[in-house]
Structure 1
Amino acid sequence: MKISVIIPTCDRPEYLPETLRSVFAQSRKPDEVIVVNNGKLPLKLESEFASRVTVYDIVPYAGAAQARNFGAAVAAGDYLAFLDDDDLWNRDYLANAGELCDRGAVCVLSRLDALRGEKIEQFKNPDSKLTVENLLAFNPGITGSNIVIAKKIFFEAKGFDPKLPPSEDKSLVLELLLAAIPVGTLPDNQVLWRDHSGVRLTNHAKMAEGIYQFVRKYSSRMSFKQKIKNWLKIYHYRKKSGNKSAVFPLAVLKVLHRIIS
């Protein structure tokens, strides 16, 4: 079994070297490392990575989903391990995920811990929360950094939906569950999600639009309660982006949420 690591990056070179070091420090070495640059700035890798990383440049600002999908399309591995350019894997991340895949798993999710400065805190763990009902209402801890998936299954699920940031990761796993494809979890396999104030792969306006498109895509499967929870998130991100418009006033949304909770 061969594992291809796919890292999308977009105009934030300050974090990428540490991310790559966490990949090459793995106890189970990746068979291939692909970096997909969808930023406007040219990507210059440090000499220690130049011969070990394949870099592709795609249309600037095409988005993380498109970058991941492109990387998946050119990858030679049987399995795809996705990692954002500012996050980190523990030393045995690929070994642990690969062991489960060797036993037949076609998709494996791992635990997320938050890295805030030098401090590591518990953040999210998708273990035991992976149900269709939960994923329609919230994200239990699925990102572009803790998914290892068989390439064949990835494309059967049509990859990451570029219309749904930040929900494209959750949507991919949701499509697997809707197709009755089992998803394995490794609650002790650590991924470090870096919490920082720098450039994000997805900004607040895109996040609001992505959640809105997620509701549109899965509306027929959602309960009223699930829709309200999503609309609260849409309002939250619209407000953070400076756009205070919402389909419903926030007070009405909160009252409805209290009624159905």
Structure 2
Amino acid sequence: MNGAESTDVIIYVVSDSAGDTGDLVVRAAVAQFHPIHAKIRRAPFVADESALVRVIEMAKASGAIILYTLVIPHLREAMNRLAAGSNVVAIDLLGPLVESLENKTGRQSRHEPGLNHVLDEDYFRKVEAVEFAVKYDDARDTTGVKKADIVLVGVSRTSKTPLSMYLAHKKFKVANVPLVPELKPPDELFVIPKERVVGLTIGVHYLNIIRKERLKALGLPDSASYATAERIERELAYADEIMKRIGCFVVDVSHRAVEETASLILEYVRGN
């Protein structure tokens, strides 16, 4: 092909799902032939042979190529037969690979269109939840309290942030709010349904050890007021008062791994 000839190619992407997979493959292939311009025409959610007949007729009339991602066997067989009978170039993207996997594994394909989109949606929900947890960590923006699926409240070092991230990977949007005697808690905490709020508490001795280790890690003396038993008792008493005011579910995180605490929270949330 030289520069004086047409560089337009028509490609029909036929699928019993949305056709995104075929579309991506076509674009990747065409990119190797720049400056060829491909006109991609989708025929998504094909459900019967009559739809295939219409596509093949249009492809034959325009000299187009067909790329198809049909996972339902009778539709794939019909496309093979109809395309061959009409002398239309039709490329089966998934069929050979599915058959090879069946032979290799000894298992049958589920033959269900759109399963990859289920995975994609699942992935993107997880990414969205993680981004939410980062944005609304430590009450940086209290508007997240109303938007969250779960709001964690508790004093410093009760695993609010690790729990937020863990629950985000379970596709829950989590905001967390530190409870500090010197700071007024956001009004949103007392407006949202109490079932969406989870309080985190901890034993004084256990938190004292954790905070001292935190201070050491920061290169600070472990005698700072942040880690004293008196300060911790005051904070926990204040947090307990707030949690009772909200009427929320409370989990004691003392000696519990993040996964164990998260499991208790998920059990509670899914039961409400």
Q: Higher Cα Rg: structure 1 or 2?
A: 2
Structure showing the higher strand proportion among its residues: 1
Q: Please indicate the TM-score interval, normalised by the length of the shorter structure.
A: under 0.3
TM-score (norm 2): 0.24
Q: What's the TM-score, normalizing by structure 1?
A: 0.25
Structure of greater relative contact order (alpha carbons < 8 Å, 6+ residues apart): 1
